[in-house]
Amino acid sequence: MVETNNDLQVGSIVTGTVIKIDEKQVFVDIGYKTEGIIPISELSNLHVENPGDVVRDGEELTLQVKKIDDDEVVLSKKMVDAEKAWKDLQHKFDQNEVFETEVKEVVKGGLVVDIGLRGFIPASLVETYFVEDFSDYKNKTLAVKIVDLDQEQNRVILSHRAVMEEEQEKKKQDLLQSLQKGQVVEGTVQRITTFGAFVDIGGVDGLVHISELAHTHVEKVSDVLTEGDNIKVEILSVDLDNERISLSYKNTLPGPWSGIEGRIKEGDQVEGIVKRIVSFGAFIEIETGVEGLVHISQIANRHIGTPEEVLKVGDKVSAKVLSVSEQDERISLSMKEIELEKEKGEIEQYEKEEDFSSFQLGDMIGDKLDKYKK
């Protein structure tokens, strides 16, 4: 309650108007026989360099009488502000309220803020990440909440980090709820392990298993991705209970069969490595991730009982493309055709070099000549 200014006592609450601002004090008309004085140290609970930064001429203030002498009345603005601030802070603390405050000082160990009195944000409670230099935080407004309040100890500890963590958690839950299997999203590679890569897709990390990095076998994750890479990934699954997200990188990349009909055409001669041998033929890798089948009937220009009679895994072979289908991811190959064409070429070359009659040539090579002269 504001008392009348005619009966002043130490502790009385009075109103006054600023009439003069000096370097170290402020003079206030409080309707008393002498002007009231607010020392610079009683203007604010924070450090003040210039009284003019806190009050202005003609401003009406609510003040508390701190000392009375015959010719001097010492007043305090910060005591009134503090009492009001404590009540307000207690309410905010009880309600776990988030509010904004301005950073007034950067000190060793954290930040000093203006909350009607001196509040402190320890360095560990400023951000969710490590901050090397806090100099840019001066005069910055931060959203905070109170984590420790003790009026007897004159202690108010605030946290900006707690506010940010709550916002991140809400964003994370919203994102988890919105993700759908098959959805393609953008993300940043955060961490690489032996079994895959963790990718931040907007506030939550998902795992790209090493088997989902490429259409081909991957020995090391670092052969495909680097920390900091911005990539597109496909959502494979979302486990809301355990907050786990499985991602695929390879599903966003063109497959090895994509555009195959433009690169390989019927009649082309290709080279490849024997990757697998089965009872009905052999699979030849002619591009990374692309295998064609040489049916057992197309392996040799003679009858064979099993592919192993001619081929073994790892052999490098040439073959002729019989057919290509991107849709079915199927290529039919013939080694026999290459062999026949080679024989035909040898015969034609022989005919050019030697002027034999057809009878003489027939005696030498049997019925092979007839086969190529149809």
Task: Determine the pLDDT at residue 357.
Answer: 47
Q: What angle do CA 315, 318, 322 make, to 5 degrees?
A: 125
Task: Determine the pLDDT at residue 2.
Answer: 45
For residue 191, list its beta bridge partners: 198
Whether residue 8 is predicted with pLDDT greater than 90 in this model: the reply is no
Topology (CATH level 3) of domain 84-164: OB fold (Dihydrolipoamide Acetyltransferase, E2P) (2.40.50)
Task: Determine the pLDDT at residue 368.
Answer: 52
Class of the CATH domain delimited by 13-76:
mainly beta
In the chain, ranges of CATH 2.40.50.140 domains: 13-76, 84-164, 181-252, 258-374
How high does pLDDT run on average in the chain? 89
CATH of domain 181-252: 2.40.50.140
Which residues, including other chains, have CB under 8 Å from residue 173's CB and lie 6 or more apart?
none
Q: What is the mean pLDDT of residues 14-35?
A: 91
Task: Determine the pLDDT at residue 139.
Answer: 93
Alpha-carbon distance of 13 to 167, in angstroms, equals 42
* Confidence at 354, pLDDT banded by 50, 70, 90: low
Tell me how crowded residue 133 is: count the other CB atoms within 10 A of its CB. 7
Nearest to 371 by CA among 344, 349, 353, 348: 344
Q: What angle do CA 227, 228, 232 make, to 5 degrees?
A: 100
Question: Architecture of 258-374 per CATH?
Answer: Beta Barrel (2.40)
Cα–Cα distance list, 199 to 51, 169, 174, 236, 334 (Å): 53, 17, 18, 13, 44
Token couple for 159: 């946290």
Q: What is the mean pLDDT of residues 7-23?
A: 89
Alpha-carbon distance of 31 to 43, in angstroms, equals 20
Whether residue 365 is predicted with pLDDT greater than 70 in this model: the reply is no
User: Above pLDDT 90, what percent of the chain?
Assistant: 68
Cα–Cα distance list, 342 to 283, 286, 320, 339 (Å): 22, 20, 12, 5
Alpha-carbon distance of 84 to 78, in angstroms, equals 10
* Confidence at 20, pLDDT banded by 50, 70, 90: very high
- Which tens digits make up the pLDDT trace of 126-162? 999 999 999 999 999 999 999 999 999 989 999 999 9
Whether residue 364 is predicted with pLDDT greater than 70 in this model: the reply is no
For residue 13, list its beta bridge partners: 64
Helix count and strand count (H, E) for the chain: 6, 20
Whether residue 44 is predicted with pLDDT greater than 50 in this model: the reply is yes
Task: Determine the pLDDT at residue 269.
Answer: 94
Q: Which value, in Å, is the radius of gyration of the alpha carbons in the chain?
A: 43
User: Above pLDDT 70, what percent of the chain?
Assistant: 92
Task: Determine the pLDDT at residue 146.
Answer: 97
Whether residue 48 is predicted with pLDDT greater than 90 in this model: the reply is no
> What b/e readout covers 280-292, taking b as 16+ CB neighbours within 10 angstroms?
ebbbbbbeeebbb
Q: How far is CA 285 from the centre of its chain?
A: 37
| Residue 232, CB-side half-sphere exposure with 13 Å CA sphere | 8
Task: Determine the pLDDT at residue 1.
Answer: 42
Q: What is the mean pLDDT of residues 206-210?
A: 96
Greater confidence, 228 or 49? 228
- 359: helix, coil or strand? helix
Burial class (CB in 10 A: 0-12, 13-18, 19+), 307: buried
Task: Determine the pLDDT at residue 27.
Answer: 94
DSSP letter (8 states) at residue 49? S
- Length of the chain equals 374
- Which tens digits make up the pLDDT trace of 209-265? 999 999 888 999 999 999 999 999 999 999 988 889 999 999 998 888 888 999 999
| Residue 180, CB-side half-sphere exposure with 13 Å CA sphere | 3
DSSP letter (8 states) at residue 70? T
Task: Determine the pLDDT at residue 245.
Answer: 95
Q: Are 42 and 80 in contact (CB under 8 A)?
A: no
